[in-house]
Structure 1
Amino acid sequence: MTATTAPARTGADRPQRVRRGGIASRTARAFYWMVLPAFALFFLLHTLPVLQGVYYSFTDSPGYGPYEFVGLANYVALFSDDRVLHAYLFTFQFAIVSTILVNVIALAVAMALNSRIKFRTTLRAVYFVPYVLAILVVGYVFQYLFAISIPAIAQSLGNERFSTSILGDENLAWIAIVVLAVWQAAAFNIVLYLAGLQTVPHELYEAASLDGAGSWRKFTSITFPMIWSFFIINMVLALKGFLQVFDHVIAMTGGGPGTATESVGVLIYKGGFQGGEFGYQLANAVVFMVVIIVFALVQFRVLQRGEGNVA
């Protein structure tokens, strides 16, 4: 028996492999060069200012002129400042109430739009309009509504309770800001919930109907568990956004009456840029940044644990 000899290997395919490797290498370098400008801009316009802000938070800088290094004095003073504590209390109160309301309303509207109703596509576009409008412009419209229109209507109806603007009431002014914030933010949440509802197979609803399940049973056993991941995203993004509330307050009350509706963002702006407390309010901003990060991580972890129970 004669052994068959394998054909001699030539180097014809080696240049091809080299060429392919060279193309892949050049493509990888091209990706890096494409990302580098964006990374540089992000570092210069975001990361570097943040690092500078952290540095100035350890100083008594008024925002201009000479300053001295004061260490942790600014951070220590924050925890004994009644105005700062009140701003945090108002911000969290506003954020929690607004987050709950916007998710309940957005989910209800999304379920209505997802059903078989007429002009469904047109209504989706109409509901998204508030999200693309400037908050300051809409805020001044709502300010006129609460300051002029509603009191005038209440007076004509003989209602003394709302015959004066609630924007001047320390106990009710925050409600007007919540109304504006929820109205404006619901659009984005509606879009996310609509995307989630479209992932639910209709066969599940048909099978549930055959078993005699009602609308509430379908929602709790099928709809809500299937869109739980979208619910997590909406809750985290809504809470993060509402904790950073600024434009709504500036347009509606300016933080008043007094400091009743002064959020942390408004306090940082007023104190840092108008009150000569640049270094002090930067310390407040650093603390607030850490609070938002921790709060978002805890919320995300809790909701993720709840996903297993719901499923």
Structure 2
Amino acid sequence: MDFLHYEFARSGVETSLWLPPLVAFLISLVTSMVGVCGAFLLLPFQISVLNYTAPSVSATNLVFNLIAIPSGVYRFIREGRMLWPLNWVIVAGTLPGVGVGYYVRVYHLQDPGLFKVFVGMVLLYLSLRLLAELAPWRRRGRKSAPGMKPGSVARNATIAPSRITFTFGSDTYSFSLPAMALLAFSVGIIGGIYGIGGGAIIAPFCVAIFGLPVYTVAGAALAATFITSIAGVLLYSLLPAPPGVATQPDWLLGGLFGIGGALGMYVGARLQRHVPHGALKLLLGAVILLLAMYYLTELLTLM
């Protein structure tokens, strides 16, 4: 075996063994500093650089989540910022959504052009969300907002038939169970198609619409992404697919991505306090926006 050039049997990808973990490390290093999972940028790399466009690329992307996410979840649990009730509501909604996403991806988005358009739409949303946070009126509103108080933990969660209430620090928060489950179901469909689990999509809705503190949302969304990624990998691995359609993940390729991603998340968490968030979000948002525009040009070829 040539260490500098290797052909992955499952996916047919030919590349150097060091490239997947290096790319995943660099992506996760940057995205982890702004609280975004790197899986959404890893997929464009696989599509455009590795030329991996079969439905199994979504499953391989989910394998990345299985390896890269646990270290982040562990950190939130240790710091007392894991809101388990929110996590399980998100899981309950996203799991059936991932099943629908699998069906859509395998039976209706086999065409690489259509899938690239879908990827472009997801990336467009994520880029606009990042860039919107840099708007002058949003920044002015945050100047007087305090950071997380030392010793703040999520606790005293009470579950009513249609609402969950909890405390974080000295403040009390609540959210509607049906509304959160419906949102999670919709996000699960997108995550199942794309291969990202959905945490990067649902977290901003939890903050902006439900008014929940980002300090507790991040851990719950990340843990839910990990659990739904397990379900997604199982669906892509075990469910029947149309003849000739590859759905099973490339475990070796996904594992190499995951190793690099786990290291990148760890280093990113360490460096986060030393890097200006505004500059990072601007750079990341601009890169994602360019990628979105690139993939959305596929619409011209489909017309």
Same fold per TM (> 0.5)?
no
Q: TM-score, normalised by structure 2?
A: 0.28
User: Which structure dedicates a bigger proportion of its chain to helix?
Assistant: 1
User: Which structure dedicates a bigger proportion of its chain to strand?
Assistant: 2
Q: TM-score, normalised by structure 1?
A: 0.28
